[in-house]
Homo-oligomer: A and B are copies of this chain.
Amino acid sequence: MTGDHTDKIKAAIFGGSGYGGSELLRILMCHPNVEITLVTANEHAGKLIGDVHKNLFGLTNLAFERSPEDLSSLGDLDVAFFALPHGQALSILPQLPPTVKAIDLSGDFRINDKSVFAQFYKIEHTADELQADFVYGLTELNRHAISTAKYIANPGCFATATLLALAPLVKRGALCGKIIVDAKTGSSGSGAKAAANTHHPQRMTSFYAYKPFTHQHLPEIKQCLATVGDIPSDLVFMTHSLPVARGIFASCYLELAEPLSSDDLTAVYRRFYEGSRFVRLVEGSPDINWVKTTNFCDIAVHTSGRNVAVFAAIDNLVKGAAGQAVQNMNLMFGFEETTALMFAGTNP
């Protein structure tokens, strides 16, 4: 937070009061190459950020502002992050001056097929003329395209864990049969606003499935996998709610065309993620406890005959949202990919 500001890019956060915004702020405040110049939150306009995100109390003098009526005045901005509810970036982002890059953490620009978007999000897409400018920001799979992108559609949290778990085997064409993904999320995935499903007295002792067969991350998983390789058969994707604040855990059940040992399979993953600093291959099982508050994705692979289980764990708000957004920003602006992201988790 010191140093010569002239060498810093200027960043705005649209939607700074949610958990995605909160984590963007935590990370970007420590980024040596970024100056945050605008943080919007209409309902908190005028309040200090530290009075809303009390973890940041005393650490910044930034205040929330209303979203500007006229975005054309934001010409000196380098990058805009959108951490708004689904459907809002759709109407705001097209108003950005053409020189401003953007990273959208919502689902608004993840789906290339407008009708699929409408089906899963129950929103009509009103800015599909911009869709071609968007790169899907699953960093480890798309580094080159991301580095030259104007706009990034930052992946969903479930999609991130699932895709990092599946990509090496899909790429290799090693699979036959159906892919089953049993995914679980912590309660912060439901956002910062209180709701019945995150009411503490019930949630603390709950585990349940939701949106069976219809979760909106399914189409982005399929669309991205199709760019990696062929899915031999069907992909079943199921989401559940965990009684923790943070974390995604994806258990993926696959079938190999030819049997491989667990060690050989782990080697496949190790090669695939060579140079990917945020993917860690672990023994036994990943645990959301060890990735919470970090940008890491921990993965373990096990086989039994031709059956394979791949387990992946991330923090939904970091690698599954704000952290990956900053990772993408780093690539877009030529910074070291890991800048401001190598913070460790805690034990406990």
A residues with a Cβ closer than 8 A to B are: 19, 22-23, 26, 29-30, 53-59, 177-178, 180, 182, 184, 186-188, 192-196, 198-210, 212-213, 234, 236, 238, 240, 242-247, 249, 251, 253, 255, 280, 282, 284-290, 292-294, 296, 298, 300, 302, 304, 307, 309, 311, 313, 342-348
Contact = CB atoms under 8 A, between A and B. Distances in A.
A234 B307 contact: yes
Number of this chain's copies in the complex: 4
A344 to B, nearest CB: 5
Contacts of A195: 194
A210 B307 contact: no
Contact of A245 (B53, B182, B186, B200): B200
Contact of A313 (B187, B207, B304): B207
A187 B210 contact: no
Given A206-B288, A213-B304, A287-B206, A344 B201 contact: no
18 contacts: A54-B347, A55-B290, A56-B344, A56-B347, A188-B201, A194-B195, A194-B199, A201-B348, A202-B245, A202-B347, A202-B348, A204-B204, A207-B288, A207-B289, A208-B313, A212-B285, A212-B309, A253-B253
A210 B285 contact: yes
A311 B209 CA distance: 8
Nearest to A235: B307
Contact of A205 (B26, B59, B302, B348): B348
A242 B207 contact: yes
A212 B290 contact: no
B280 A251 contact: no
Nearest to A248: B207
A253 B285 contact: no
Nearest to A189: B201
Contacts of A208: 249, 284-289, 311, 313
